[in-house]
Structure 1
Amino acid sequence: MEYVEVARAESERGELVLRERREEGAPAVLELRANGVFVMDTLETSTEQALASAALALVDDPRAVVVGGLGLGFTMHEVLADRRVERCAVVEIEEVLVGWMRDGTVPHGPAMLADERATVVVADIALAMAEARPASYDLVLLDVDNGPGYLVHDVNARLYQDEFLRTVRAVLRPGGAIVVWSAAEAPDLGESLTRVFGAAEALPHEVRLQDRDEHYWLYVARVTSRA
């Protein structure tokens, strides 16, 4: 196995690195790492796609969708594959990652971002939600971390707590939902969602990765009224 660095950048949150994994007889795989920790790659995109498809199935009319976290674009891409979606706002805090997607450093990036329904906003998801108009979205997908137990940055812990979840509730329309992807059960998140939305579900979700079965969770809460 050979690793070739494609791009590297520093932000106030630390280091981002894009690198290729090369193995004889196999296509090169692009890998994203943050502060030395593996985030995602272009080989196994099942979890990102599963988050989007499962979330979209929970909402009758997901015309306007927010995706928290750009990554390598696969959650956004799956959202935009649903023709019910009229606009998809992707909120990504790392400006350089957005640049890599736009300028072709991530080869599939320009094609993904060419969809006229997609808008990428460089911002903290907490700030973006606080500034959004009330009742303006049908679905919010949180793909910033792999759940509250696997934070990319410690400050992200607030995204799974009551204050931020109340902000999300305010931007959702009646019938809308928030869906949070988690690599493990997160009962505290379920309790926070229940306090804010009145009810929540923890839906087990199995994904096949590299000939192994992985068990993930979708934490879901819906807006049934504006009360």
Structure 2
Amino acid sequence: MAGERVATAHSPRGETVLSRREDGTLELRVNGVFVMDTAHTASERALARDALDAFLGSRKPPQGGTRVLIGGLGLGFTLHEVLGYSDVDGVVVSEVEPAVVEWFRQGLVPEVAADRFDERVTLHTAEITESVSEQRDSTLDIVLLDVDNGPGYLVRSENASVYGTSFLRQCRDKLGPGGLLAVWSSAPAPELAESVREVFGAVEQRAVPVTLGSLETEYHLYTGAN
């Protein structure tokens, strides 16, 4: 349950709240919908690790280093994991809520506060569809999408297009040879799996065990490769 409000912002999309529970855990909600917290970050980290390990495990790092685009900044844990790889040369982070970007720049999440000084990071305050369209074709190595709780649990209804074949094809076109797309979902998403398969020819799904208080559950990662 959310406790003390640390920061609140309003935008055309509604209210975004960063709050601190009694145990010190930070929690992010958008229009009352839970997005993520600092107590359970395994799936965000796994999203980055799985994609980077798969990409780097079978080849030498690209000349000039690995380039990553992350859809969704949130509390910064996916970015934090990506920055732990020395082969990563540049990271574009697309976040639609200006307040979330500003809270990151202010260092309000202690675990990832140092990342705001990393020169490899470019923060782009925009819709993920806009950020992807602005990239040149075949210039990215990895695209990580974590903009919702999955296609069945949208933070905003407008995000439904992010999981369709049209946008996934745009992501594919921005990826170079061997490039990877990875998408996070809080629940099994067979339609997403089929869309990734249609665009990339194959899809890999991984379940990530997560403990939420006394509840044991699983989150899911869907990956397609050029």
Match of 1:188 in 2: 191
Q: CA separation of 1:213/1:84 partners in 2, compared to 1, >3 Å: closer, same or farther?
A: farther
Output the CA distance in 2 between the equivalents of 1:204 and 1:44.
15
Match of 1:158 in 2: 161
CA RMSD of superposed structures (Å): 1.8
Shift of 1:105: 3.8
Match of 2:7 in 1: 7
Q: Deviations over 1:120-162 (max 9, x none)?
A: 1111110111111000110000010121111110110000001
Q: CA separation of 1:220/1:126 partners in 2, compared to 1, >3 Å: closer, same or farther?
A: same
Match of 1:67 in 2: 70
Is the 1:101–1:108 Cα contact (8 Å) retained in structure 2? Answer: no
Give identity over the alignment, percent.
48
Shift of 1:91: 0.6
Match of 1:100 in 2: 103
Aligned match for 1:146, one of 120, 144, 149: 149
Runs of 4+ in 1 over 4 A off after TM superposition: 107-110
Is the 2:77–2:112 Cα contact (8 Å) retained in structure 1? Answer: no
Match of 1:82 in 2: 85
Shift of 1:208: 4.0
Aligned match for 1:45, one of 36, 41, 46: 41
Match of 1:172 in 2: 175
- Unmatched tracts of structure 2, length 5 or more: none
Alignment length (residue pairs) = 219
- Unmatched tracts of structure 1, length 5 or more: none
Output the CA distance in 1 between the equivalents of 2:31 and 2:8.
11
Is the 2:8–2:17 Cα contact (8 Å) retained in structure 1? Answer: yes
Check if 1:213 corresponds to 2:209: no
Is the 1:126–1:159 Cα contact (8 Å) retained in structure 2? Answer: yes
Q: CA separation of 1:55/1:210 partners in 2, compared to 1, >3 Å: closer, same or farther?
A: farther
